[in-house]
Structure 1
Amino acid sequence: MRFIAIAMAGLLAFAAPAAAEDEVRITGDLLEFQVEGPDGPITVKRIQDQENEITGYYAMTSRKCPPFCIQPMEAAPGVKTIGELEMVDLMRDPDAMVIDARTLDWHVKETIPGSVNIPYTEVASRLDELGCEKGDSGWNCENAKDVALYCNGLWCGQSPMAIKAMVREGYPPEKINYYRGGMQAWKVLGFNTVEGMM
């Protein structure tokens, strides 16, 4: 009996390889995942260099307000504010969309893998890309997709403005997720980014 228990423990250890102690994982069970990009699959993971530090634009802590004022936790009534793990879940959901609500110049420099750029200035006229249909009396959004919107960070008003415009046009707030941390939080946690497409 003892031999069987030892053999079973050995098989379980072989079947489920243990995480390397030096891996920088997303969660204890998730090292990386794939999203679809314009040129094929993109692997999303955290930077493995444990000496890595955030530098450049997203390392700045203080910006002139206005226009760079800290945004409220709730972008609009009924809209859920999410963190990185909820963002990862939406990125892995083939029926959901992650929207980079920043202007094209920001998106082209660097973006979250798999996200689609719909600038906050255009989102109200592009709801058809999110499952809504344009009618004579406005948008019909009964088939709206679950979406997550983000911009540059806690101090960026682009995604909150996009969310308010979507709700105003009839997009169901319960289908909208606001990733308030945006690019700054994504980079602080060491997630990889990609260049955006024009």
Structure 2
Amino acid sequence: MRLTLPSGLRTSLVLLAAVATGAGAANPEEGLFDLDDLRVKITETLPYVEVEHAGKPVILMRHQEPDHTIVAPYEQTARDCPPYCIQPMQLAPGVETIGELELIAYLVRASKGEPILVIDSRIEPWVSQGMIPGAIHLPYTRLDPAHAQPEAVAELLEFELGAIRLNALWNFSAAKTLVFYCNGPWCGQSPTNIRALLALGYPADRIKWYRGGMQMWEQLGFTTVKPSAANADE
């Protein structure tokens, strides 16, 4: 996939990609990446993609510096369990566990207006360290019965996730496809949301889980962005 962009927009997107990743440029003198000649691509035929984040275009690509390493706090390997216990590969029947390429495909589809939400389930201070471009911030506490009031959860289902309220029941025929992620295989925030939605009757085939989360996203050197005021949903 190769994107054809107007020159002015192309330059701004390249700059935005560099700022978002905190990456060094391919040409230090210019401070820009050459999107037509990336050294580290997503796949052999997919150098980068354009997604929309908080109403603005962002180039999603991999870090281009050869000596780039995993950033804090994702370089850490020892975390207390509980609470940071390893999650299973399959959370529940019908819920698909996906990888980076599948997640990127959902991000592109969501940017084109399809009824898809990529959801960052994490709470602070995790989110402020960076999130996946194109995702929205929906803290797991807003869907967790242990933290949220039933009416607040109902309003979230109805006004943000596309469910239709039928008195005490729900019609999920128009419900959005939800793609959840959090910090990685050792994080329980998105699994908590997924299980809560399943308990409410949300269709399992409309729930996807990026198990790798920010741990794998950072390990592969992908673009991250800071949450904006419009995107942060506390």
Quote how far apart the aligned CAs of 1:104 are.
4.5
**Structure-2 residue corresponding to 1:195:** 226
1:118 paired to 2:138: yes
Unmatched segments (≥5 aa) in structure 2: 1-35, 145-152
Q: Is the 8 A contact 1:101 1:149 kept in 2?
A: yes
1:84 paired to 2:114: no
Quote how far apart the aligned CAs of 1:196 are.
1.1
**Structure-2 residue corresponding to 1:71:** 87
Q: Is the 8 A contact 1:100 1:119 kept in 2?
A: yes
1:132 paired to 2:163: yes
Q: Is the 8 A contact 2:95 2:204 kept in 1?
A: yes
CA RMSD, aligned part only?
A: 1.5
**Distance in 1 between the 2:137 and 2:164 partners?**
19
Unmatched segments (≥5 aa) in structure 1: 1-18
Quote how far apart the aligned CAs of 1:34 are.
1.3
Closer/same/farther in 2, CA of residues 38 and 175 from structure 1, 3 Å limit? same
Quote how far apart the aligned CAs of 1:39 are.
4.4
Point out 4+ residue stretches in structure 1 off by more than 3 angstroms.
Answer: none
Question: Amino acid of the residue matched to residue 122 of structure 2?
Answer: R
Q: How does 1:103-182 map to 2 (within 5 A)?
A: 103-123=123-143, 125=153, 126-128=156-158, 129-182=160-213
Q: Per the alignment, in what secondary structure is the counterpart of residue 139 of structure 2? A: coil
Percent identity over paired residues: 44
**Structure-2 residue corresponding to 1:12:** none
Question: Amino acid of the residue matched to residue 154 of structure 1?
Answer: P
**Structure-2 residue corresponding to 1:56:** 72
Greater Cα offset, 103-112 or 74-83: 103-112
**Distance in 1 between the 2:85 and 2:164 partners?**
34
Q: Is the 8 A contact 2:71 2:218 kept in 1?
A: no
**Distance in 1 between the 2:106 and 2:180 partners?**
11
Alignment: residue pair count: 179
**Distance in 2 between the 1:157 and 1:192 partners?**
23
Which protein has the larger Cα radius of gyration, Structure 1 or Structure 2?
A: 1
Q: Is the 8 A contact 1:32 1:45 kept in 2?
A: yes
Q: Is the 8 A contact 1:104 1:117 kept in 2?
A: no
Question: Amino acid of the residue matched to residue 177 of structure 1?
Answer: K
Q: Deviations over 1:117-172 (max 9, x none)?
A: 11112136122312112331133211112221000011000010000011111211
Question: Amino acid of the residue matched to residue 157 of structure 2?
Answer: L
**Distance in 1 between the 2:73 and 2:128 partners?**
15
TM-score, normalised relative to structure 2: 0.72
Quote how far apart the aligned CAs of 1:106 are.
2.2
**Structure-2 residue corresponding to 1:100:** 120
